[in-house]
Amino acid sequence: MRVNAELLSEALDQVQAAIFEPSLWLPAIEAISKASGALGATIAEPNGRGVFGATLSTENLEVFLEGYVREDWGSRDFRVQKLLPAVRRAGVVLETDLISKEQFERHDYYKFMRKHGIADCVLLDLSSAKDELYLVFQNRLAEAPLPAQDAAHFHAIRARLISALQLAQHVDASKVVGMAAAFETSHIGCIFFDRKGLVTLANAKAEALFTGDLRISRGEVRVSSAIEAAHFNRALKTVLQAQRATTDTVSVVRLSRPGKRPLVVRFERLGAQLTDVFSHSCAMALIEDPDEEIRQNPETLMTLFDLTPAETRISLLVAAGMSAEI
């Protein structure tokens, strides 16, 4: 793996555009990978059980990652114990500095890697207080080990991506706050979730509805009924696992309340799954209270959902319980 400094400078310039247009993140990572001389790159994170998985990867590593999952290397990758403590200290580590020549030649994992044309990797720590994230560049088997002087380029990549991640999530958070305020104006409760299913934001309307047996605590929605809790979590997981936001990714559950009709909760995906790692929130739940008189502001609904005046009137009538059928 040998870094092309000129190409790398151009690739890092693409990161700035990706901050404001999430669809550009994957092309930016691919450009950085190419400039680094790598076969490909992945952004990986632990899933909470000591197993690592890729949240974003360049296209040319798809077959390798499928094999990695199929052969369960995520739970038996011995390198985790050596590489992660080192990268947490240094920010950037070269695998060749920590793994012996004998291990490269004899260990089953490196035999698996060689089948996919991969020799070793460079690991960058992109973690924040909120997320544990690592960027992994895979070195081509046919190339010589990375020159020591190229390590400085990877520190520059790390610094640029960390600041970009923070800014991208801040930009996305601003959008979410605006959406929450718009729903509040329309008397609609809403809760937003990150890619792990934890609550990132709830507007005042949602907090007022989720009281007593229904509540938001420590980043999670608590439901007293085990059956309803299972339905809620399954619907949320389904929406989060969807590749992108479509009409097929909307899920509906009902949550019982003592002495009142159940709340209706509609889950919707936000954006594409490939950009989740750069997003503040990845899904939302809109909460409808059937016992409450509908008081949506027509102008707000028109702006929020890009509706015509006629479409807005029909939406309000349907929300009030009338049928859309003629």
Residue with tokens 């990877």: 154
Residue 151 burial by CB count (10 A; 0-12/13-18/19+): exposed, middle or buried? middle
What pLDDT, on the 0 to 100 scale, is given for residue 320?
57
Task: Note the helical H segments in the chain.
Answer: 5-20, 25-35, 62-70, 79-90, 101-106, 108-115, 151-185, 204-209, 226-241, 298-305, 309-319
Please give the Cα distance from 58 to 237 (Å, whole number): 24
Coil, helix or strand at residue 75: helix
Please give the Cα distance from 154 to 91 (Å, whole number): 9
Are 35 and 1 in contact by the 8 Å Cβ rule? The answer is no
**Maximal C-alpha separation, the chain:** 76
Which residue ranges in the chain fall short of pLDDT 50?
49-50, 324, 326
Please give the Cα distance from 53 to 246 (Å, whole number): 25
What pLDDT, on the 0 to 100 scale, is given for residue 311?
72
Q: What is the Cα gyration radius of the chain?
A: 23
DSSP annotation of 193: E
CA angle at 121 for the pair 115 and 126, rounded to the nearest 5°: 135
Coil, helix or strand at residue 4: coil
Are 35 and 185 in contact by the 8 Å Cβ rule? The answer is no
Coil, helix or strand at residue 163: helix
Are 207 and 229 in contact by the 8 Å Cβ rule? The answer is no
Q: Summarize pLDDT for 214-267 with one digit per residue, the tens.
A: 999 989 999 989 999 999 999 999 999 887 766 565 688 999 988 888 999 999
For 219-275, the DSSP string reads TEEE-S-HHHHHHHHHHHHHHHHSSS--GGG-EEEEEEETTEEEEEEEEEE-S-GGG
| Alpha-carbon dihedral 234, 239, 240, 241, rounded to 10 degrees | 90
What pLDDT, on the 0 to 100 scale, is given for residue 326?
47
